[in-house]
Structure 1
Amino acid sequence: MSQANDRVLVQTQDFSAPEEYARIAADDSDGAVVTFVGKVRDFNDGSAVTDLTLEHYPGMTEAVLNQIAAEARERWPLTHVTIIHRVGTMALGEQIVFIGVTSAHRKAAFAACEFLIDFLKTKAPFWKLEAGEQGKNWVEAKDADEQAAKMWDKQ
């Protein structure tokens, strides 16, 4: 169940990281604001990338992202949780994802932000299609992402 200060969006349009930061940083009771922005990079596994297309399962994607936000709230005392994930085709350097959390203390905010991106990469129903010199190919899940998510089971 999402909270009043949670914001979960799946959208094609870009977002403004400074505007999202300002929105969550406005609460003076928070001593920590941690954000993460993921971008389209020009390589993956040693191959050149020219663009990235992200597909998702509408409805289910938002539900999973809300569940991940709720789990972060169960683990840490958070004031704001924002997850914005883009879908569609994006060029090199474009923003893909914004994660923003606030808390009274930095350790909770840092841990929650890392947890959110680790779980988003392994649990949310997104599919990546990369285009490059080699043509187009679907990106397989990475073992390193699965291992990062599993580390949270021990905490």
Structure 2
Amino acid sequence: MPPVVRLTDIRETPLAVDEVVAALSDAAAGGLTLFVGAVRDHDENKAVTGLEYSAHPTALAILQDVADEVAREYDVLALAAVHRVGKLAIGDAAVIVATAAEHRGEAFDASRALIDRLKHRVPIWKHQLFADGSDEWVGTP
């Protein structure tokens, strides 16, 4: 049986939904859920022009731990989580998580747990750039 955690990565290159979906291919899966977090053009009431993500050197190991934890807690066949770092433009995919399970309910629950824990525990920080020339760091310690 292939490993449940099929893909985890933090990379500077663009993320691809096709890569994530292919990694989770499983004939026993009745459902695959996919979440793509994209760079939006605003935050609160401010126009965003772009952003940059930075990751602590331990981020990938922590992402793997989070993925392993979710795989143990939920009845899933496969899961994946990838996050982008570096400079991103409006519309770029910043994070993709996906899970495959026999039934949709477990896939949805596991995907929510995976993205929520990733956002909460993986040390990746967002530097937002605003149209008015100001900036903001989000998620820094």
Is TM (by shorter chain) over 0.5? yes
Superposed displacement of residue 121, structure 1: 0.9
CA distance in 1, matches of 2:105, 2:139: 32
Structure 2 contact 79–100 (Cα < 8 Å) conserved: yes
Match of 1:50 in 2: 49
Relative to structure 1, is the Cα distance of residues 101 and 29 closer, same or farther in structure 2, using a 3 angstrom cutoff? same
Aligned residues: 137
Match of 1:13 in 2: 13
Unaligned runs of 5+ in 1: 142-155
Unaligned runs of 5+ in 2: none
CA distance in 2, matches of 1:29, 1:89: 38
Superposed displacement of residue 139, structure 1: 2.0
The 5 A counterparts of 1:95-134 are 95-134=93-132
Residue 49 of structure 1 aligns to a residue whose secondary structure is strand
Q: Aligned AA for 1:92?
A: I
Match of 2:68 in 1: 70
Q: Which has more helix, going by share of residues?
A: 1
CA distance in 1, matches of 2:37, 2:67: 18
User: RMSD across aligned C-alpha pairs, in angstroms?
Assistant: 1.5
CA distance in 2, matches of 1:54, 1:19: 21
| Structure 1 stretches of 4+ moved >3 Å | none
TM-score (norm 2): 0.90
CA distance in 2, matches of 1:140, 1:23: 29
TM-score (norm 1): 0.82
Superposed displacement of residue 78, structure 1: 1.4
Match of 1:83 in 2: 81
Q: Aligned AA for 1:70?
A: D
Superposed displacement of residue 137, structure 1: 1.6
Residue 119 of structure 1 aligns to a residue whose secondary structure is helix
Deviations 1:53-74 (A, max 9, x none): 000112x101111111111112
Residue 50 of structure 1 aligns to a residue whose secondary structure is strand
Deviations 1:40-97 (A, max 9, x none): 0001121110001000112x10111111111111211111111110000100001101
Identity across matched positions, percent: 30
